């Protein structure tokens, strides 16, 4: 649809020509009808913008604010008069100033920014949690001439999440102590049954040990999640031999999942990476336990490392249920679980892959998935050596 300005200009020209009797009156009437429609549409949009509960702000490519609705005033405290013509940077806390060029770059390359959770500053210098959705404003030729931003105040939601996190942290912490005791009793019993050559006892105690280990890993993930959310995850980085760590993880996984065949493609044992050894181990364990969990018994899970220039790519491949392209996009979100018939009875909390992505982000790496539904999945990431 043409802009109201375009239409007005055209109508002015036609009116002049009408006076000079060089234009058809029908054409002029058609244009006036189009103008009426455009004005109605614009009025409807303006009403939506003004009554929205979210702040709706537009700005040009130099980050100068060009419009500011009622909710923007309610949420940030500034009036339209105070903000139009000002830089959007006024709302961004000092430690997040780099977000603006980053967002601009993403939008210029055609990406949308949806539900980006961050913090912003109000007029009275209060930090609030907001979720931002930003899209480009284009002219009739498709050039990006500005950005429109919808900001939702999510401070209450964040506080609710905080309460939930505190609860998860508390419960996980309380569960850890009795579980550690159970683990040592089971191990003592296992040693005894082995010594007594009691195969029934050994069988039962080995199974109990596996279940205790699974529960410990789950609690470990919960504790990591709540620490991560509270910004309290501590990374202790050092140089370590990658193959030795992978050996430990693969052995542990094979012990936990005797029904699967884990094939380990070994690589040079001298390969050293710099990072948090325990957390990288947690990443591998999560990927391996998913590979086992989402693939049928007696199938093969392949894990290995492969040099790419100076770096090493670590991969975990399974022959399981696979993941659709739609789910692949959301897999690394917190609490996200795929909903389908095939896996509805497999339990989990949807935090493993979120932790994997967060831990790798701290190691300047990304987790990547290659998969198709019913065709297994391969997860990989690259570490600097």
Would you tell me which residues interact with ligand ADP (CB under 6 A)? 286, 290-291, 294, 318, 320-321, 323, 331, 336-338, 343, 348-354, 377
Q: Which residues contact 342 (CB under 8 A, 6 or more apart)?
A: 321
Q: And the tokens for 376?
A: 């297994």
Q: Which is nearer to ligand ADP, 201 or 304 (CB)?
A: 304
- b/e string for 131-144 if b means 16 or more Cβ within 10 A? bbebebeeeeeeee
Nearer to ligand ADP, 134 or 355 (CB): 355
Measured from the CB of residue 325, what is the shortest distance to ligand ADP in angstroms? 13
Q: Closest-CB residue for ligand ADP?
A: 348
Q: Which residues pair with 146 in a beta bridge?
A: 60, 137
Q: What value, to the nearest 5°, has the Cα angle with vertex 127 and ends 125 and 131?
A: 135
Cα dihedral angle (114, 116, 122, 125), rounded to 10 degrees? Answer: -170
What CA dihedral angle connects 141, 144, 150 and 154, to 10 degrees? 140
55-60 and 311-318: which strand pairing? Answer: unpaired
257 vs 286, beta carbon nearer ligand ADP? 286
CB of 160 to ligand ADP, least distance (A): 21
Residue with Cβ nearer ligand ADP (206 or 378): 378
Q: How many CB atoms lie within 10 A of CB 260?
A: 23
Cβ atoms 130, 118 nearer than 8 A: yes
Minimum Å distance from CB 237 to ligand ADP?
24
**Which CB atom, from 150 or from 353, has the smaller least distance to ligand ADP?**
353
Question: Which residue, 239 or 324, has its beta carbon nearer to ligand ADP?
Answer: 324
Cβ at position 218, least distance to ligand ADP in Å: 8
Q: Output the smallest distance, CB 303 to ligand ADP, in A.
A: 12
Q: How far is the CB of 259 from ligand ADP (least distance, A)?
A: 16
The single-letter DSSP state of residue 267 is -
Contact 378, 294 (CB under 8 A): no
CB of 88 or CB of 225, closer to ligand ADP: 225
CB of residue 117 to ligand ADP, shortest distance in Å? 19
Around Cβ 50, how many Cβ atoms within 10 Å? 11
């Amino acid at each position: 649809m043409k802009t109201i300005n375009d239409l007005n200009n055209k109508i002015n020209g036609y009116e002049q020509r009408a006076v000079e009797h060089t234009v058809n009156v029908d054409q002029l009437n058609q244009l006036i009808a189009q103008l009426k429609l455009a004005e109605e549409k614009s009025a409807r949009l303006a009403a939506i913008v003004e009554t929205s509960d979210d702040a709706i702000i537009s700005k040009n490519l130099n980050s100068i604010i060009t419009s500011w609705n009622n909710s923007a005033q309610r949420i940030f405290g500034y009036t339209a008069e105070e903000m139009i013509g000002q830089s959007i940077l006024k709302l961004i806390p000092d430690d997040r100033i780099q977000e603006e060029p980053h967002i601009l770059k993403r939008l210029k390359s055609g990406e949308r920014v949806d539900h980006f959770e961050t913090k912003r500053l109000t007029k009275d210098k209060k930090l609030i949690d907001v979720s931002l959705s930003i899209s480009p404003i284009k002219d009739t030729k498709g050039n990006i001439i500005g950005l429109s931003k919808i900001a939702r105040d999510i401070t209450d939601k964040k506080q609710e999440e905080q309460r939930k996190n505190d609860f998860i942290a508390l419960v996980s912490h309380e569960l850890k102590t009795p579980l550690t005791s159970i683990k040592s009793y089971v191990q003592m019993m296992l040693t005894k049954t082995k010594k007594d050559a009691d195969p029934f006892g050994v069988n039962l105690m080995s199974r109990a040990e596996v279940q205790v280990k699974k529960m410990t890993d789950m609690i470990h993930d919960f504790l990591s999640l709540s620490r991560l959310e509270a910004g309290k995850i501590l990374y202790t980085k050092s140089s370590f031999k990658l193959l030795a760590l992978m050996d430990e993880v693969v052995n542990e996984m094979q012990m936990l999942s005797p029904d699967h065949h884990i094939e380990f493609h070994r690589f040079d044992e001298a390969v050293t990476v710099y990072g948090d050894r325990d957390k990288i181990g947690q990443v591998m364990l999560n990927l391996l336990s998913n590979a086992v969990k989402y693939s049928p018994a007696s199938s093969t899970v392949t894990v290995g490392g492969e040099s790419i220039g100076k770096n090493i790519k670590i991969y975990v491949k399974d022959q399981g249920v696979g993941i659709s392209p739609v789910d692949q996009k959301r897999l690394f979100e917190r609490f996200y679980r795929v909903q389908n018939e095939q896996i509805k009875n497999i339990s989990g909390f949807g935090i493993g892959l979120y932790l994997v992505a967060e831990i790798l982000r701290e190691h300047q790496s990304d987790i990547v998935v290659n998969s198709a539904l019913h065709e297994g999945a391969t997860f990989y990431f690259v570490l600097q050596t």
